[in-house]
Chain A
């Protein structure tokens, strides 16, 4: 027997053994009910994808609300800084150029320090608003991560579905108990308050 034939025989033996191991595994898994497990896993994957996408939508909405508010507030603060500085300057010029009656001098200096404080506070407010705006960048990062995970689970889902189709030709029954602690529901699965109310009414509440 030459060397090549020997190698071929050895490979054949290896494949035979692998084949029989896979068959055993297949039988064992079927006995353990793997079709049901796979089927449930598949459904859970789909549901987690919906939940992840829902998180992405909610966070995007929240970030946009914050950005809208910030967009409205920043110009107001900018305007406030400009106007209070302008008024402070005019008071300053008047104080330097004309004699202020004694009875007004206290009011004048209080007004001046107040408008200066307004300018400073508005400047500080602008800085904080910019910080609030910058903090919304989390949405871009979390959104990208969620998108990646959803793509990954979609691939996994396709693979699992293929395994199910290949090895479990009979449809697995779907009478699975409803999970009462499934957590916040995704809108298209969730009931609107109106639906809830009418259901409550039906139930006699």
Chain B
């Protein structure tokens, strides 16, 4: 994996407010290389075109939702290794189970704090780099 500050993030959310918040939080955590996508389809197109190191995705989006994106990423040999963190307001037990089964790296429930995002990303990267 690339150097921490060089890591490229893809933030996927249909709400621009949330994309901006996550982008700013990532910047504050030292990750300056961030791109955005409005839904799963746009995210897949970007993932296929550019090289990314980490995906942060919402679940409930028009077009292709976050779970479908997760499944598509895990099914693609070129992308399947990418850590993917779900950040979503879908907070039922069944959601978390479905995301875990589909191969999510971790799960954050909205509304969330900067500390939670930091903790989850650090944990995912530690595990990923082992």
Chain A contacts to B: CB under 8 angstroms: 60, 63-64, 67, 70-71, 74, 130, 133-134, 136-141, 143-144
Q: How far is the CA of A139 from the CA of B89 in the complex (A)?
A: 12
Is B20 at the interface (CB under 8 A from chain A)? Answer: yes
Given contacts A64-B17, A67-B17, A133-B24, contact A140 B113 (CB under 8 A): no
- Least distance between A87 CB and chain B CB atoms (Å): 24
Residues of A within 8 A of B114 (CB): 130, 134
Residues of B within 8 A of A143 (CB): 15, 17
Q: How far is the CA of A136 from the CA of B89 in the complex (A)?
A: 15
User: Among the interface residues B17, B24, B60, which one has the most CB atoms of the partner chain A within 10 A?
Assistant: B17
Q: How far is the CA of A144 from the CA of B18 in the complex (A)?
A: 12
Q: Is the CB of B111 within 8 A of A136?
A: no
Chain A contact surface mostly: helix
Is B13 at the interface (CB under 8 A from chain A)? Answer: yes
Residues of A within 8 A of B110 (CB): 137, 140-141
Q: How far is the CA of A133 from the CA of B25 in the complex (A)?
A: 9
Chain B contacts to A: CB under 8 angstroms: 13, 15-18, 20-21, 24-25, 28, 60, 89, 110-114
Q: How far is the CA of A74 from the CA of B16 in the complex (A)?
A: 19
28 A-B residue contacts at CB 8 Å?
A60-B16, A64-B16, A64-B17, A67-B20, A67-B21, A67-B24, A70-B24, A71-B20, A71-B24, A74-B24, A130-B25, A130-B28, A133-B21, A134-B21, A134-B111, A134-B113, A134-B114, A137-B17, A137-B18, A137-B110, A137-B111, A137-B112, A139-B18, A140-B15, A140-B89, A141-B111, A143-B15, A144-B60
Query: Which of A60, A63, A71, A138 makes the CB contact (< 8 A) with B111?
Result: A138
Q: How far is the CA of A70 from the CA of B24 in the complex (A)?
A: 10
Residues of B within 8 A of A74 (CB): 24
Q: Is the CB of A140 within 8 A of B60?
A: no
- Least distance between B70 CB and chain A CB atoms (Å): 19
Residues of A within 8 A of B15 (CB): 139-140, 143-144
- Least distance between B59 CB and chain A CB atoms (Å): 10
Residues of A within 8 A of B25 (CB): 130, 134
Given contacts A130-B114, A134-B113, A134-B114, contact A140 B24 (CB under 8 A): no
- Least distance between A128 CB and chain B CB atoms (Å): 13
Residues of B within 8 A of A141 (CB): 89, 110-111
Q: How far is the CA of A67 from the CA of B110 in the complex (A)?
A: 18
Q: How far is the CA of A132 from the CA of B112 in the complex (A)?
A: 13
Q: How far is the CA of A139 from the CA of B21 in the complex (A)?
A: 11
Q: Is the CB of A63 within 8 A of B17?
A: yes
User: Among the interface residues B13, B18, B89, which one has the most CB atoms of the partner chain A within 10 A?
Assistant: B18
User: Among the interface residues B20, B25, B110, which one has the most CB atoms of the partner chain A within 10 A?
Assistant: B20
Q: Is the CB of B17 within 8 A of A60?
A: yes
User: Among the interface residues A63, A139, A140, A144, which one has the most CB atoms of the partner chain B within 10 A?
Assistant: A140
- Least distance between B99 CB and chain A CB atoms (Å): 17
Given contacts A130-B28, A134-B114, contact A140 B18 (CB under 8 A): yes
Residues of B within 8 A of A138 (CB): 111
